Each structure stands twice: as structure tokens, then as C-alpha cells.
Amino acid sequence: MQYYAYASYNGTGFNLYFSVIAGPISVANSGFTDDNTGQKTAIAGTAAFISAQARDQYNNPQTTLANFSIWITGGPSPDQFIEFPVPSLSHPLLGESVFNYTIDLIGEYTVTLYFGSQNVTSSALTVHTGQAAYSASSLSGPHYIMINDVADYLVKLVDAFGNPSEGADAVSAQFTGTNRIQSTRY
Amino acid sequence: MTPHVTYTTGGKYVFSFNGTIGGLYDVSVSVNNVFVLNTTIGVKVYFGGQCSTFTSSINQGQTWTLTCNAWNEYGQSVAVGGASIETMTPSGAAPVVPFNIYLNN
């Protein structure tokens, strides 16, 4: 932040401008910001964003996140564990950096902010199924029944990456009769 | 008819249809108003046929006309072909009239 000081000598005033920059990084005061929720939730196949900021011991923001990195680990199951660094999109002045990633498989992950090799903070990340995709979804049921029988149908919905629907999709069914006969027993 | 659709687990939704009326039905499932899954179902009833009966005695050489109808398995009226009275016993209290109805399947 920029300041100025005022002084006078024999009735003549002087202004002195100076800047105060953030001190050494405080790992304890650095971490994720609340600007983006990508460190907590994401939709499979959709870009998500994480924001982080480094600060000094007085919470003054650092201008960069130099030496900081973000890693995501986890997956839909233990045998599908993945781990990858999240690339940074931007390092604007006053230090809030935005990181971008896309995960295709639903599951529980962990987002970790490192300063060098030091773990700064972590966040649980849940990746949810995206919108159901026509190409991978299916409808199954009997092609005929006898009168007064009940036909049971199954709709299986998955998104474009094969993740099963979590029940948030709006599904409605309709039967439209043709050549309907009330009774034909003779 | 619009059945109630229920989410179960693992990406599965279920619904049922009571086949109380015979016929052919289109089944359509709308998903997020983005796409539709389609299939068909037939509710089968009882197929077969029936002809009118003799109303009085019949004399040798006399011609009678029988009116026959046939229905397919969905209760729909179908054409009758090849129907004929083939033989008739000359006497007896209960003459046997072999009669074949061929459905146009």
C-alpha cells in the first residue's frame, strides 16, 4: 500500500510518498480464498476454478504465489486413483491466483495447496456427475405383456464420461396408446 | 398415461405400466427436456375368432352364410381368409362342421 508523510520546515511543507510491501510469506495466513468453490465441488467434465492467495504474517497479500502449487489427488475408487498438479491461470497483482482444472470421473478428491514441499492447507473436493448424455443412456423394459400384467421399466442415465446419474436429472415418462381395445375376449 | 418415475441408485430410474387396456403403446422418456428415449409395448389380449351359428336345421344342398370375425393378439380386428364349410354329416343330432379361420399374421 502507498502512504505519504508530511513534514514542514520554516513554514514550508514537504510530502514524502512511500510504499509498504508485504513481508515474508506466512504459510499460516496463506490459503484458498472463497472466490471460487472449485476446491470443494465440481461437475465431471466441466472446468472448475480454485483461488488461492499468499499473505505475510500481518495478512498483507503477496503479489504472487511463487513457490506455491496445487495438487489434486483421489478418484472414484482406490484402483482409479489419480494425482495431478493444477495449472495456474493467472497471477494478478495483490496475489490472488486462479487455478483451473477439469476432472472427468466423479468421486472424492483432495485439493492441497503446497508452499514448496510444505502442506499449507487441504480441502475435500467432491466431483459430481454431469448432465445425462443421450448416447450413453438407455431405456429397457418388456416389448409386450398380457392384459392386466405390469410392465417394469428401467432408465439408466450416465453422463458423457460414463458417470452414473446421481438423481438430479429430470425424468418423466409417458405412454401413448394406439389401436386400444377395451375388451376382445370371445 | 404418465407414470411416476422414481430414482433408485447408480443412475437408475424406474417406473411401471399397468396393462389394463389392450393395444399398442409408444413409451417415451424425457430426460432434462434435452433428449427422449423411446420404445414400444404391446398389451396382448386374447386372439381368436368367432362365427355366427346356424339358427335352424339345414337341408342337404342348402346354402347358409356364416359371418365370421377374427382378432389378433392385441384385440384388433383382422381379415379372415380361407374360411369354408368343408363337410357336413348327413344325419345326427349334433352335426360336426369343420371350420377353419386363417388369420393374416
3-state secondary structure of A78: helix
Residue A24 DSSP SS3:
coil
Domain extents in chain A = 31-128, 132-186
**A107-165 tens-digit pLDDT:** 999 999 988 888 999 999 999 999 999 998 999 999 999 888 999 999 999 999 999 99
One-character DSSP codes across A127-164: EEP-SB-GGG-EEE--SEEETT-EEEEEEE-BBTTSPB
Let me know if domain A31-128 sits in CATH 3.30.450.20: no
Residue-wise pLDDT tens digits, A79-122: 778 788 887 766 555 667 888 899 999 999 999 998 888 899 99
pTM above 0.90, yes or no: no
Query: Which of chain B's residues have a Cβ under 8 Å away from the Cβ of A140?
Result: 39
For A62, the grid coordinates are: 503477496
Sequence-ordered list of residues with C-beta below 8 angstroms from that of B62, at least 6 positions apart, any chain: none
- Contact call for A151 and B16, based on CB within 8 A: yes
For an interface test with B, which of A169, A171, A185 has the most B Cβ atoms less than 10 Å from its Cβ?
A171
Nearest CB to A157; choose among B3, B11, B23: B11
* Minimal CA separation from B34 to chain A, in Å: 9
Q: Do the chains contact at B19 and A139, CB–CB below 8 Å?
A: no
Q: Is the dihedral of CA A157, A159, A160, A161 positive or negative?
A: negative
